[in-house]
């Protein structure tokens, strides 16, 4: 009897017809979800932040996302302040 161990395929290697089966094989437990987020973080970190060429692309992307997030959070307050100033 031969034991076949399924090899983890990346999302980009999965064909559309095999996508539902691939999704069902993924681990949706808390530990599996945490592992997926960790993998994604490390991939981003290695691709954009830990670059030996001295590129600031990764850091600037994080800063831009932070500025956008803070603007979205304080939008109502900024809008009310602008209306108060103009009227």
Q: What's the mean pLDDT in 14-37?
A: 82
Asked if residue 69 is part of any domain, the answer here is yes
Task: Give the pLDDT confidence score for residue 40 in this predicted structure.
Answer: 84
Q: Is the pLDDT of residue 24 over 60?
A: yes
Q: Is the pLDDT of residue 25 over 90?
A: no
- What total of structural domains would you count in the chain? 1
pLDDT tens digit sequence for 40-60:
888 888 877 776 665 677 678
Integer Cα distance of 44 and 62 in angstroms: 11
Asked if residue 67 is part of any domain, the answer here is yes
Show the domain range for 68. 55-86
Q: How many helices (H) does the chain have, and how many strands (E)?
A: 4, 0
Q: Is the pLDDT of residue 14 over 90?
A: no
Integer Cα distance of 50 and 67 in angstroms: 22
Asked if residue 1 is part of any domain, the answer here is no
Asked if residue 65 is part of any domain, the answer here is yes
Q: Is the pLDDT of residue 84 over 90?
A: no
């Amino acid at each position: 009897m031969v034991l076949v161990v399924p090899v983890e395929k990346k999302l980009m290697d999965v064909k559309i017809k095999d996508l539902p089966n691939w999704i069902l094989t993924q681990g949706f437990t808390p530990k599996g979800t945490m592992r997926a987020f960790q993998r994604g973080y490390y991939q981003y970190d290695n691709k954009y932040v830990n670059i030996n060429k001295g590129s600031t692309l990764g850091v600037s992307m994080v800063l831009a996302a932070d500025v956008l997030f803070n603007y979205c959070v304080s939008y109502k307050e900024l809008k009310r302040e602008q209306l108060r100033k103009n009227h």
